[in-house]
Structure 1
Amino acid sequence: MEKEEIKGAPVEGVELIVPQRHVKRVKTALEQRKLLNKKKGIAQLYDAKTWGSVNEQYMSIPTTMIIGVIDNLEDQNPIPPEVTYKYTFELLSLEDIKGEITAKSYDVPPEDYEPWRRNPFLKAVKESLEALPPELLESLGGSLNVLISDFPTTYTIYRPMLLLPRNRFTSSYGSTLSHALLLHSPDFQPFWERVAAAVGVTHIAINAGIPLQATPLDTVPQNVGGTPIENVFRSPRDLTPVYGFFGPPPSAQTLSAPSTTDFDTALWVTSTQNGIQQTWAPLYTMFSRGNIREKTRLLNLPSVNTSVEEPRGCTAVDLYAGIGYFVFSYKKAGVSKVLCWELNPWSIEGLQRGAKLNGWRTKVVKSDSVRSQPLSESADVIIFPHSNEYALDDLAQTRRITDLPPVRHVNCGFLPSSKLSWGNAVSMLDREFGGWIHAHENVGVNDIEKRKAEVVTEMEGHLDFAGLRGEVRCEHAEKVKTYAPGVFHVVFDIWIGRTESLPIS
């Protein structure tokens, strides 16, 4: 295969023709998605007959989006992988003004189109493909340029693993290459080895969404908020390792009762956000990079900082702790102790390892031992490895044998809704000082205000059921990220003031 095949005729880029009153909005939307072609620049259009009326100026805004044929909106040219023209307005949240925006194509010179010149991963792919035996490369079909375009331009590195998005390996136009690479053919291991070495990793995997439904492997206890058919462990069932040993394959045994050897032989990867290290086994545990917005908010939340500064300090509770997503933000903010409930043994192991990386001490407490053993006063994070259904009893026993600072924050971070844990959360807050419940929900974009009022009403109902009364209000509704089209992951910050027992009638 000749290297000259990389060069070719100019491809077509997209320019958006926009009324001047919308230019700022469109430009901002493109910048946020890193789709604005700053090199070409925004230009005025003076041909009013073609691009509007003499009463309004139109501007040409060049994008970095590439299409094959501008008139064929069904074309799914593979570059870039995140965008085809037909999805432009939905992607940019401009659907309400799409009728006022036109598009035209412009020629993109090949030197601007060669993504491997600015993408370390694609550069490694190109060089690794070129190093394959010619007959093996030819068996894949297509030119080198086409083969490279089958690979994603986006990727994530969690040391020591390179994680690639699945969408580029399931498309029809990349099926030949996809099958060859995903079937772990020994012929292609040298290819992945070269790629791994070039980007500085030892393992490579292809990502997949976390299935919400359980499989026959999930013969495990259920948490509050789970159902018998739900993947309550949020295990990454469909992650596909393509290079390197990731550990023992998931089974009913390794999922619910892993051995020390299972933990020690598994691959553990790390990520650092806000100066906080987290670690997990990608074959067994999910990691949500998009939660950084909420982690950062908790780290700087005035109500957390105020609680930390009180003379006795404060305790935070996380009823769905995972690998420490929000636990570590509380600790870094200065919270005295964090009490955690978590079912997944792999998440508990990650929580302990992550705490150690950050210099925090953990203590795992079984249900029977909390009643008989004093907890170490030096433990920063106390972990209960069972359902949060028993959280109230665990807390009561802990208070009897440990001088625990007031519980001021309870985090309920389960999706699509954490509402089945709210009854326990209400009763866990300190009755004298009150505190905050951070309730996670999936909510339609147009229903957030309505849901805010409903959450307050439901919290009041839980207070009443517990025989308590006190002020309840929603101080804030934080939109964390988009969960699905038209649906947001929202956190409701619910304040519950000092409570007292209802009079006996």
Structure 2
Amino acid sequence: MATHQSGHESRHSKPKPRQVNPITAAIQSWIAATLPSTESDSQNSRNENLINSAPKRFTIYEPLALLPTGSFTSETWASILRTCDEATCNSLWRSILEEISKTGQGRVTHLAVNEGIPLHKNGEDAENVRRSPSGLRMLFGDFGSARGGDQPTRSDFDDAFWVGTKQNGILQTWAPRWTMFSRGNVKEKARVLGFKRPPVGQGDRWAVDLYAGIGYFVFSYASLGMRVLCWEINPWSVEGLRRGAKANKWSVKVIQGEDLALPMETLLAGGERIVVFLESNERASKRIAEAQDSELASNITHVNCGFLPTSEPVWESAWEITRLAPEAWLHLHDNVGVADIESRRAAIQTTFAAWAASGGGLRRPSVEHVEQVKTFAPGVWHCVFDVCITGSSISNNGT
């Protein structure tokens, strides 16, 4: 005879044990093994404070576990860590790595705290245009030599610590000691992937990224089958881009040093999917004009201008380098107050309309969309203004 026990069993079955946070578990074990035990109220309070003020979240970029800003900086933690020797501290960091590795999200061997990307160089007024992560707090593991920051050699690259992750099915790699990674761009990268692929057999479609970084948006355009011209001034980012392109099986060429003096026709002759210029994007317009004189890179359908707090200095260049395309999209990144988004959109429309009028009105720009990517600060959004340009600067009679 059939019975109905499932409901009865579910009511009386033992609840699953609550999973302890891996960092908490590691700290509890470390406290028990390391700190003297007197069972006093003050010691119990101290231990409770250590656990409660410790980070609970982490991000894995194999083989690195990255902890959030401010981790292990509370007064209680600072007091304890000051009294511990290196071996004792390392036993804590090693225990945390072991517990995180048990979660099945990836094996980690290095531990660091993400202290954000400073907008200015250490002790200087100059802007940190390379977005070097000088605030990264390295807790455990060999992150590579501290030498070779601005002018790294191939040996520096080979000896550095590299990590990677996959977003939208695309691999990216970088050296965390020298290069930032913006996890929050994943949504915008996916949106770029949503643009239509170039029709097969109608010649090369090109994209340009004027702030290429480690290939955030470069790889999205490459995935769409476009050839991509990139500009980036941080050699560590360029190396990360090169390694990432290889990992995704895209051909890539880095132009640097003496090769920068070669003609564009020579530089683009290899047919690589991605060509990276290790130089300022101030030279992009001139280089692309030279390529277009040789009937190369004529159909530039996307230009990414991904620099914050604003990429406005390159907007006119983006307008100029798409002059031969029948339709082009400019993706203009900008930090905007939430109450100012529509007025900023109108101002951008006015600016591009003025450029169009000065060029004879053959091209028609329109701010088609504003994407709010993520909050940058309270009340401030990282926005992307999509400007669609139809009509080229070449009239029907070829002039």
TM over 0.5: yes
* Residue 400 of structure 1: how far off its partner (Å): 4.8
User: Where do residues 99-498 of structure 1 align in structure 2 (5 Å cutoff)?
Assistant: 117-132=19-34, 134=36, 142-177=45-80, 179=82, 185-198=86-99, 199=101, 200-215=107-122, 229-249=126-146, 254-301=148-195, 305=196, 307=198, 311-335=202-226, 337-366=227-256, 367-371=260-264, 373-400=266-293, 403-404=296-297, 406-464=299-357, 469-498=362-391
* Residue 446 of structure 1: how far off its partner (Å): 1.1
Cα-Cα RMSD: 2.9
Question: Helix, strand or coil: the match of 1:439?
Answer: strand
Q: What stretches of structure 1 of length at least 5 have no aligned partner?
A: 1-110, 219-227
Distance of 1:377 and 1:360 partners within structure 2: 13
1:169–1:190 distance in 2 versus 1, CA, 3 Å: closer
Deviations 1:477-505 (A, max 9, x none): 00000000000000000011113379xxx
Distance of 1:280 and 1:180 partners within structure 2: 34
Are the counterparts in 1 of residues 365 and 389 from structure 2 also a CA contact under 8 Å? yes
Deviations 1:393-433 (A, max 9, x none): 11123345574461000000011110110111001114241
Q: Which amino acid aligns with 1:128?
A: W
Match of 1:105 in 2: none
Deviations 1:101-159 (A, max 9, x none): xxxxxxxxxx99x98x3423322332333333637999988454332222111111110
* Residue 173 of structure 1: how far off its partner (Å): 4.8
Of all paired residues, the percent bearing the same amino acid is 40
Question: Helix, strand or coil: the match of 2:370?
Answer: strand
1:483–1:374 distance in 2 versus 1, CA, 3 Å: closer
> TM-score when scaled to structure 2?
0.84
Question: Helix, strand or coil: the match of 1:323?
Answer: coil
Q: What stretches of structure 2 of length at least 5 have no aligned partner?
A: 1-14, 102-106
* Residue 469 of structure 1: how far off its partner (Å): 4.0
* Residue 466 of structure 1: how far off its partner (Å): 6.0
Are the counterparts in 1 of residues 304 and 332 from structure 2 also a CA contact under 8 Å? yes
Distance of 1:358 and 1:451 partners within structure 2: 37
Question: Helix, strand or coil: the match of 1:408?
Answer: strand
1:384–1:167 distance in 2 versus 1, CA, 3 Å: same
Are the counterparts in 2 of residues 377 and 402 from structure 1 also a CA contact under 8 Å? no
* Residue 327 of structure 1: how far off its partner (Å): 0.5
Q: Which amino acid aligns with 1:489?
A: H
Distance of 1:231 and 1:368 partners within structure 2: 27
Are the counterparts in 1 of residues 26 and 92 from structure 2 also a CA contact under 8 Å? no
Aligned residues: 371
Deviates more, 1:145-154 or 1:409-418: 145-154
Question: Helix, strand or coil: the match of 2:214?
Answer: coil
* Residue 472 of structure 1: how far off its partner (Å): 1.1
1:387–1:137 distance in 2 versus 1, CA, 3 Å: farther
Distance of 1:383 and 1:120 partners within structure 2: 41
1:172–1:121 distance in 2 versus 1, CA, 3 Å: closer
* Residue 276 of structure 1: how far off its partner (Å): 0.5
Distance of 2:239 and 2:44 partners within structure 1: 45
